[in-house]
Each structure stands twice: as C-alpha cells, then as structure tokens.
Amino acid sequence: MINEAGSWLIIGFPLASFVIIGAVIRPFFNRYAIVAGYLTILAVAISLGLSIFAFISVADAGGNIPFESREWLSFPGLVIPFGIMMDSLTVLMLITVAGVSLLVQVYGLGYMKGDKGYAKYFAFMSLFTASMLGLVLSRGVIQLYAFWELVGLSSYLLIGFWYTRPAAAAAAKKAFLMTRLGDFAFLLAILYIFTLGDDLLDIPHLYEAAQIGAIGATAATWAALGIFAGAVGKSAQFPLNTWLPDAMEGPTPVSALVHSATMVAAGVFLVGRFFPLFELSNEAMNTVALVGGFTAVFAASMGLVANDIKRVFAFSTISQLGYMFFAIGIGAYVAAFFHLFVHAWFKTLLFMSAGSVNHASGTFDMRYMGGLRKVMPFTYATTVIGGLSLAGIFPFAGFWSKDEIFAHAAEVDSPVGWIVLILGLTAAFMTAFYMFRVIFMTYHGKFRGGVDKENEDLRAAGEEIDEAHATARVHLAESPWTMVMPLLILAVAAVLAGYLTNPTAGYGIVDQHSFGEFMTENHQVFETHEAAVHAGAEPKFNYGIAFLSTLVALSGIALAYAMYQAKLISPANLTARFKPVHRILINKYYMDELYEDIIVRNIFYNRFAKRLASFDITILDGVNVQLASWTRRFSGVLGFIQDGQLQTYGAVASAGAVVAIVIFLFWA
C-alpha cells in the first residue's frame, strides 16, 4: 500500500528534475544538455512506477486511500488545507499522465536533437509533468487551483518555447490569457464554495456536504458553472476554443503531451473531480452536455478544411474533448473517463506521427506532403492504426469508448440526450472524414516537394520566410528509433486499450466492465450503488447504436477516399461551390477576428482603455494641476504686497502711519 510520502514523491521526482536542470545543468553544464533528457526520462519513469504502485494500492483499498488533510495557511475562521487525494480518478489520471509523458520524453530525445534550448525544453517538460501530477493528486481546492495555474504556466512556457518567433510568443500569451479568463470564473466559484462552509476547501468534505444535502441546488449550480468555466478554458471548449490551434506553435512533442493527451483533458478531470457537486444541479449538467456536444461538431467542422496537419489534430482534440464533456454532462462518468484514457494514447500517437512526417518533409502543410508511406512505413502504419481508432472503427480502442458514450446518450430520457446523440454522430462522420483526408493527403499519392516547394511558393507570393521554414530541410527517411519506438508502443495501446480495460463482453483476460467497476468503487464520490450505475458502471452494449456509429464513420472514410484518393469528387470544385462556407471554416468562424480585433483591440483597448487613460491624465490629474496653478496665481496676488522692496514697505508703512495718526487725532 502506497503511503503519503510515496504519493508526494510522484510529484517530487519530476520537480527535482526541473530544479536540477534549471539551476545546475542549464546554467553551468549546457554542453552536456543530453543529460537533461536522460534525467527527465528517469524521473518520469520513477513517477510512472510509483503511479502503477498507487493504482494497485487503490484497487486493493476499494477505490480510495484516505490521507491526512494538512494546513497550508491558517487564520481564525480561514484555513487553507492541502494534502493528497488518492482515489480511482487520481490513479487513472496518474497513469495516463506519467505514461504518456514518459513516451513523449523518449520521443523528444530524438525530435529536439540539435535545438539550442535542449536542456530548457526538458526542464519545462519536467515542470509540466510535475504540475500535472500535482493537479490530479490535489486534495485541497486551493491546492488544486494552484497546480491548475502551474500547468497553465508550463503550457505558456512550452508554446512560447521558440519565443524569437512572433507567432509563438503571441500564441503563448493568448493561451495563458484565454485560460485565465476561464480561471477567473473558477476562482469565483472557489470563493463561493468557501462561503458555503468553512471546511469545504477540502475536497472530501465537499463530497460529504454534497451527499448529505448540505449544499442546495441553486448554490451547486453557481459553483458548478464557475468550475465548468475553468474547464472550458483549459479544455478549449466553445467559446474559449481559439487558443488551442495557435498553441501548435510549440514543439510537436509538446502538442502531443500537453495540448492533446493531458493538460487539455484536465478540464474533464476537473468536472470529474467535482462530480458530486455537478450532480446536484440539472442545469449545470445540461450546460456541460450541450457545450460539449456543440463543441464536438463545431471544432470538427473546422478540421475538415485545415491544411496544417497539427491544426487538424488540434481541432480534433477540441472535438474529442467535447465528447468527454457531453458524456459527463449526461451522467456517463465512466464513459467520459474511458474516452479520456484511450484518447490520450491514440491522440499522442497521431501528434507524434505529425512530428515524424515533419522530420521528413520539413513542413506541417499537408499540401506539400504526399507519398510518404513509402519512405516511412512505420510512421504510416501506426498513423493508420491511430486514425482508425480516432474514427471509431471496430475493434480499435476509440470504438469502445465512443460507442459507450453513444449508448448512454441513447438511454438518456430527455431532449438533451437526443440532441447530444445527433451532435455526436455528426461529429463522428466529420472525424472519420478529416482523419482519412489527413492520411490520404500525407501518405498517399506523389510527394509534393515538402518545405522546399513551400518556401518557393512563399517567395513567389512575396511573403517572408520565417526562421523555422528557412532552416528546415527535406529529408525523406524514416525517423530515428527514439521517435519510432514510442509510436509502436502507442499503436499497440491504440489497438488494445479499449478492449482490455473495459470490455463490454465478458470473456478474455480482463473482467467485463473492469474499468467501470474500478472507477465507481469510490464511495466518496458514489455514495450509493444506484449513483454508480447511473454514472455508467454497467452500460449495455447497444448493437443498434454500434452499427449506426460504424456506418457513419465508414461513410466519412469513404468520402475522404472518394475525394482525396480515388479523385471521384474534386475538392477544388467542392470548395468553389460552397465558397462562403469554406471561407467561414478556414477562417475558424472569424472568432479570432471577433475576439482580438473587435472586442479586445477596438472596443476595449482603443475605446474604453484609451478613454480611461485620457480621463486619468486630463481630468483627474488635470484637477491637481489646476489646483496647483490656482494656488500659484493666488499666491502671486498676495506676493505682490510682499515683494521684498524695502522702499515699498517703507512707503506703505509711512502712509499707514500717517493715516493712523490722522485717524487717531481726529477721532480723539
């Protein structure tokens, strides 16, 4: 059984790696930067080992190991607690985070080779891993918020890793600010929760209060909506979705770890962590479901037309997170986390494959790729596996999780269930289409010149070529083994993770619904058996839904095949016919323009802030200056009678004396 010190060490090892790299290796031994990579891998590997140990311990202990609540700050009437939360949800996230992180670090050894900031990269990656592990282990609400922000910081640092590129610097800032907007509501929710009860900043106490009915439905709604706003920011759900595509400016392993598998999924984790609170409020649950369902379609639609391979996957991530949210919103707690778990593996795989093709072609623009399957067979094969999983084709991992979500939606007895089911199926069609569009454009057909051709075209168009493009080279070969090996491991996971963890049929190595059983064992979260069933411990396998979703996915693939492989339908003609739609999609519904140009720049900065600034100078400070000048003028008047001229004083004094004498004489 893991003890509390062991649990802290899960955070401690990556944190130590960050400190050692940042304070010793980077400043003094930057020549041996490779050590930073090995150190990070070692630290994360130990964390993963401890996480597996924690998983076994929690499974033995029945879903929850209670540890002590400690005090970070304590004043009369205000105690800020912290501690370790060790339950099913924690260990699921621990294994996902540490596992994906380990593979990404190995991949990074090869991918980042030769970069000036090699040591810095691994320092930031260590910091990210430590913060993310800290987030899922948090017991105090403030502690959780603290790690939540630290995760945002690591994301900021990693997106802006190549900060000399203006686009990277801008994207980093945008990511931090948009998530912070959501965190503002999250913070208000925390403050509000605190007023509901002194000890509710400790999550187990919050669970207890929610279960015994100490929190009313209205209070729960407000608190849950605030928390959800934080999740919307971090998980890039509508309307705070615009930062994630830009975040692809970071190095590709970062996109794989931070911006697809773990950090952005933290929003789903957050809702799961406060699930007992959400369950108290129908309004909150429905909001989560509808926002998730809408985002699933909304983001997928932008993925249909994007030409940058990483951006397609970014839209895909937003869309898949939407699935998780709508699952949790309709109460399918287990299905949501099942999808989170399997999605982490196959989406990491897809991002790594994007990095791999970039290694060969020097670009991320799919219009300059093509034909790569011949030169990179391993990358190609693993991408297809990942793609089939994402599209939800039997028997790949994504099929099982997505199907469970749909099966739940079909069982929900309200309009919300039908709405999200339709949205989900629509998104599934789009997903299959854009995924196979990527595969056909990247790996099939003829090679279209890579970065060399792209630079040529850019020059022809008279555009500037940035540093990244100028230094990139076409190098048609399979990537080094440090990059291929993680791909292979992930491909195995993308095939098996679905069936092995939560088989809907009861034969094989693992028990039926073992994942669901494990997740709902925790009596802190699911007080009663009914609550656990409701959360999805025992979903039925719905053949009708499974058939329908497979059909939808296959037709998406077929359309992609028809357009990009068989060339039965010309994409150019289609684009021309639906020009306005295409323009809206390719411009991401003009949300960036709305937010950045209209709201922030025009309305806020150039009107409101500008007027306030001129008020400050001309009116507020103007009063001061005016007062000063009146004082000076007034003193000028008085100063006239005291001008220091002895003659004047003498004259006035004599005249006064004469007047006085005259008055005195005549009066008396």
Partner 1 sequence: MFSGYLTIAVFLPIATALLIALMPRRDQWIRWTAIGATVVELVLTITIFIRYEIDKGGVQFVDLFGNWIPIEGFDARYLLGVDGLSAPLVLLTGILGAAAAFASWRIKHRVREYFIWLLILQSSVMGVFVSLDLLLFFIFWEIELIPMFMLISGWGTGRPRYSAMKFVIFTLAGSAFMLVAILALFMSGQIGTFAMVSIPEEGIVGIPEKMALATGLIAPTALIFAFFLIAFAVKLPVWPVHSWLPDAHTDAPTAVSVMLAGVLLKMGGYGLIRISAGFFMESPDFQIRDAGWILAIGAAISIVYGAVLTLRQTDLKRLIAYSSVSHMGFVMLGVAAVSATGSKTASGGLNGAALQMFTHGTITGLLFLLVGMTYERAHTRHIPDMGGLAPKMPLIATAFLVAGLASLGLPGLSGFAAEITVFLGTWDVWPIATGISAFGVVLAAAYILWMVQRVFFGPRPERFDDAEDATIVDLIPVVGLIAPIVIVGIWPAVITDTFEIGIKATLGL
Report how far residue 84's alpha carbon sits from residue 72's, in angstroms, rounded to the nearest whole number. 13
In the complex with partner 1, the residue whose CB is nearer, 612 or 663, is 612
Report how far residue 177's alpha carbon sits from residue 453's, in angstroms, rounded to the nearest whole number. 36
- Collapsing DSSP to helix, strand or coil, 79 comes out as strand
Q: Which stretch binds partner 1 (CB under 8 A): 146-154, 310-318, 377-385, 519-527?
A: 146-154
Neighbours of 268 (CB within 10 A): 27
Q: Does 558 bind partner 1 (CB under 8 A)?
A: no
In the complex with partner 1, the residue whose CB is nearer, 528 or 614, is 614
In the complex with partner 1, the residue whose CB is nearer, 131 or 501, is 131
DSSP assignment letter at 262:
S
Q: Which stretch binds partner 1 (CB under 8 A): 182-190, 389-397, 418-426, 496-504?
A: 182-190
Q: Does 195 bind partner 1 (CB under 8 A)?
A: yes
Q: Does 589 bind partner 1 (CB under 8 A)?
A: no
Cβ 46 to partner 1 shortest distance, Å = 22
Q: Distance from first CA to last CA of the chain, Å, rounded?
A: 114
Q: Does 596 bind partner 1 (CB under 8 A)?
A: no
Q: Which stretch binds partner 1 (CB under 8 A): 190-198, 427-435, 438-446, 531-539?
A: 190-198
Q: Does 595 bind partner 1 (CB under 8 A)?
A: no
In the complex with partner 1, the residue whose CB is nearer, 77 or 415, is 77
Residue selected from 616, 650, 659, 660 as contacting partner 1 according to rule CB under 8 A: 616
Neighbours of 598 (CB within 10 A): 12
In the complex with partner 1, the residue whose CB is nearer, 566 or 628, is 628
If you compute the radius of gyration of the chain from its CA atoms, what whole number of angstroms results?
31
Strand partners, 82: 70
Residue selected from 38, 194, 447, 595 as contacting partner 1 according to rule CB under 8 A: 194
- Collapsing DSSP to helix, strand or coil, 45 comes out as helix
Report how far residue 242's alpha carbon sits from residue 177's, in angstroms, rounded to the nearest whole number. 11
Helix axes 481-501, 377-391, angle to 10 degrees: 30
- Within 8 A by CB and 6+ apart from 102, the residues are 41, 44, 45, 48
Longest dimension (CA), the chain: 132
User: Interaction with partner 1 in 150-169: which residues (CB under 8 A)?
Assistant: 150, 153, 156, 160, 163-166, 169
Strand partners, 84: 138
Q: Does 608 bind partner 1 (CB under 8 A)?
A: yes
Cβ 116 to partner 1 shortest distance, Å = 9
Cβ 248 to partner 1 shortest distance, Å = 18
User: Interaction with partner 1 in 484-513: which residues (CB under 8 A)?
Assistant: none
Cβ 293 to partner 1 shortest distance, Å = 28
N residues, the chain: 668
Strand partners, 140: 202
Q: Return left, alpha or beta for 275; rule: phi > 0 is left, psi -120 to 50 is alpha, else beta.
A: alpha
Residue selected from 191, 576, 655, 662 as contacting partner 1 according to rule CB under 8 A: 191
Strand partners, 73: 80
Binding mask 104-143 for partner 1 (x = CB under 8 A): --------------------------------------x-
Report how far residue 155's alpha carbon sits from residue 94's, in angstroms, rounded to the nearest whole number. 18
- Which two three-digit tokens encode residue 422? 């339709």
Q: Which of 210, 211, 243 is nearest to 227 (CA)?
A: 210
Q: What are the φ/ψ torsions at residue 449 (nearest 5 degrees)?
A: 105, -15
In the complex with partner 1, the residue whose CB is nearer, 176 or 436, is 176
Binding mask 618-647 for partner 1 (x = CB under 8 A): --xx--x---x-------------------
Binding mask 57-96 for partner 1 (x = CB under 8 A): ---------------xxxxxxx-x----------------
Find where tokens 């963890």 sit.
501
In the complex with partner 1, the residue whose CB is nearer, 456 or 616, is 616
In the complex with partner 1, the residue whose CB is nearer, 418 or 615, is 615
- Which two three-digit tokens encode residue 264? 């952005």
In the complex with partner 1, the residue whose CB is nearer, 538 or 621, is 621
Report how far residue 222's alpha carbon sits from residue 534's, in angstroms, rounded to the nearest whole number. 23
In the complex with partner 1, the residue whose CB is nearer, 63 or 160, is 160
Q: Which stretch binds partner 1 (CB under 8 A): 174-182, 346-354, 636-644, 646-654?
A: 174-182
Report how far residue 400's alpha carbon sits from residue 411's, in angstroms, rounded to the nearest whole number. 17
Cβ 241 to partner 1 shortest distance, Å = 18
Q: Does 597 bind partner 1 (CB under 8 A)?
A: no
Q: Does 184 bind partner 1 (CB under 8 A)?
A: yes
Query: What is the total count of residues that contact partner 1 (CB under 8 A)?
Result: 48
In the complex with partner 1, the residue whose CB is nearer, 184 or 541, is 184
Q: Which of 273, 356, 338 is nearest to 89 (CA)?
A: 273
DSSP assignment letter at 368:
G
Report how far residue 376's alpha carbon sits from residue 387's, in angstroms, rounded to the nearest whole number. 16
Cβ 534 to partner 1 shortest distance, Å = 33
Q: Does 198 bind partner 1 (CB under 8 A)?
A: yes
Q: Return left, alpha or beta for 290; rule: phi > 0 is left, psi -120 to 50 is alpha, else beta.
A: alpha
In the complex with partner 1, the residue whose CB is nearer, 551 or 613, is 613
Report how far residue 262's alpha carbon sits from residue 317's, in angstroms, rounded to the nearest whole number. 11
- Collapsing DSSP to helix, strand or coil, 7 comes out as helix
Positions touching partner 1 (CB under 8 A) are 72-78, 80, 142, 145-147, 149-150, 153, 156, 160, 163-166, 169-170, 172-173, 176-177, 180-181, 184, 187-188, 191-192, 194-195, 198, 605, 608-610, 612-613, 616, 620-621, 624, 628
